[in-house]
Amino acid sequence: MALERLTGLIAFARAGSLGSFTAAARSLSVSPSAVSKSIQRLERHLGVPLFTRTTRSLVLTPEGRDLHERALRLLREAEEIEQAAMTARSEPSGTLRVAASLPIGLHVIAPALPSFRALHPKVTVDLRLTDRMVDIVEEGIDVAVRIGDLSDSSLLSRKLPPYRLCCFASPSYLAARGTPAHPDDLQDHELVNLRYQSTGQVFRWPFWVGGREIEIIPTAGVDMSDAVLAMLAAGGGIGISASFIAAPYVARGELVAVLSDFAVQRSNITALWPESRRANPAVRAFLTLLRHAFQGG
């Protein structure tokens, strides 16, 4: 098979899985026009249309659906060959594609990457930060880090170290308004809360009180965790955050923990990777990085 046709099959498989040339291009680290041209050449060679294109959507044709399944199988087999070759080399090497949410990528993974690269100079990390639930297998992701309960999956997984959910505020705010001694005291304070972009729901603040977990639900919301912390650091009130997100602000003296005796612990961050990456040395090395990074946070 000519290299050009193989390139077209890869572009076709990704576009069919992700539903757009732009998303496929981002996944493959090429331009959307390169994906479009590769697929057009493949269609001319095969003599059948693979997609029905409109200004708003990209839909597989009946012929395209059948060929898409075949293309995915071909690429999975090619990836297994690549992984077998990587496993044969004991030293981690190659490109490692990692997907994570913005807070985890920004506050945990990115700060740890320089030391990881120093330990494993032959590994290039392609870090993709998104709150979208990526399809790990179809998008060629080697390791994904997710928060929350997971549905049954054929993916391999490992729970990462727990973290705390605690309230934080700036020293200036507490000096002006006082420090609450109990979650009930929060009603007398300015509260800054997170609102989820995907659902519009505000975050429910958990506290451990009297041997059980209770919840407080502030109504106001900001739809990004870093915006919440920026407001708190500027003296905007009291907010709640995962310990690994707030850690840099605490280290700089911009925030201090509040109501820490009532903070709750969570163990719902998981690393996932495909079965085909089980023995990949770079994946194993990155899982070690994640464990140490979360323990440090």
Tally helices (H) and strands (E) across the chain: 10, 14
Q: Which of 18, 253, 4 is nearest to 132 (CA)?
A: 18
Q: How confident is the model at residue 152 (pLDDT cuts 50, 70, 90)?
A: low
Q: How confident is the model at residue 114 (pLDDT cuts 50, 70, 90)?
A: very high
pLDDT score at 120: 92
pLDDT score at 161: 87
Q: Picking from 132-136, 148-152, 205-209, 226-230, which range would have the lowest pLDDT averaged per residue?
A: 148-152
pLDDT score at 1: 56
Q: Distance between CA 158 and CA 135 in Å, rounded?
A: 18
Predicted confidence (pLDDT) per residue in 87-98, tens digit: 555 678 889 999
pLDDT score at 135: 76
Better-predicted residue by pLDDT, 55 or 224: 224
Q: Distance between CA 282 and CA 124 in Å, rounded?
A: 9
Better-predicted residue by pLDDT, 82 or 74: 74
* pLDDT, mean over the chain: 86
- Would you say residue 22 has pLDDT above 80? yes
Q: How confident is the model at residue 46 (pLDDT cuts 50, 70, 90)?
A: confident
- 175's tokens: 């000096």
| pLDDT over 70, % of the chain | 92
> Which neighbouring-strand residues pair with 157?
272
Contacts of 141 (CB under 8 A, 6+ apart): 97, 98, 99, 128, 134, 274
Q: Picking from 10-14, 176-180, 227-231, which range would have the lowest pLDDT averaged per residue?
A: 10-14
| pLDDT over 90, % of the chain | 33
pLDDT score at 116: 92
3-state secondary structure of 215: strand
Give pTM, 2 decimals: 0.64
Q: Distance between CA 204 and CA 281 in Å, rounded?
A: 40
Of 65-79, 150-164, 231-245, where does the model show the most confidence? 231-245
pLDDT score at 156: 86
Contacts of 167 (CB under 8 A, 6+ apart): 186, 205, 238, 239, 240, 257, 258, 259, 260, 263
Predicted confidence (pLDDT) per residue in 234-291, tens digit: 999 999 999 888 988 999 999 999 999 999 998 888 998 888 887 788 998 999 999 8
